[in-house]
């Protein structure tokens, strides 16, 4: 969980920076998240920076499948935000990045929106299987 929190903190800081400095900062955040997703988190820049400062022994953990799901959601929202900005639809860029910002902030405060979506998805699949 400390690594997950490090990633969420990085997301929050980068999205806020994109509002204050340039929406193209979202493209850098997209790259950080896609690299992290494709490498199972091993090369996520936020985790690599925070790792020497974090204690993980005895800390709460999160299932790898759930972490991948949440990271995939982040990449989807970032992709939509970056594409919106690239196509000149600034409002869309703000909307999609604000959704990601809200989810990451809520997770830092203790409520994982992605976890709720994941649970509902698994429930839906289980009901369809029967």
Q: What is the pLDDT of residues 64-112, one digit of tens each?
A: 788 888 999 999 999 999 999 999 999 999 999 999 999 999 999 988 8
Output the pLDDT for position 87: 97
CA 31 to chain centre: 12
Q: Inter-axis angle of helices 64-86 and 90-108, to 10 degrees?
A: 160
Q: Is it the case that residue 57 has pLDDT exceeding 90?
A: no
Mean pLDDT of 6-33: 95
CA dihedral 22, 27, 30, 31 (to 10 degrees): -130
Query: What are the residue boundaries of the structural domains of the chain, listed by start?
Result: 2-129
pTM here is 0.87
Output the pLDDT for position 62: 67
């Amino acid at each position: 969980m400390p690594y997950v929190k490090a990633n969420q903190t990085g997301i929050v800081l980068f999205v806020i920076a994109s509002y204050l400095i340039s929406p193209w900062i979202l493209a850098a955040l997209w790259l950080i998240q896609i690299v992290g997703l494709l490498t199972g988190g091993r090369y996520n820049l936020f985790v690599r920076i925070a790792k020497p400062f974090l204690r993980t022994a005895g800390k709460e953990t999160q299932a790898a499948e759930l972490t991948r799901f949440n990271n995939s959601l982040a990449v989807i929202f970032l992709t939509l935000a970056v594409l919106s900005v690239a196509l000149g639809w600034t409002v869309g860029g703000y909307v999609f990045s604000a959704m990601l910002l809200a989810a990451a902030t809520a997770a830092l405060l203790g409520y994982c929106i992605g976890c709720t979506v994941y649970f509902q998805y698994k429930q839906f699949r289980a009901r369809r299987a029967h």
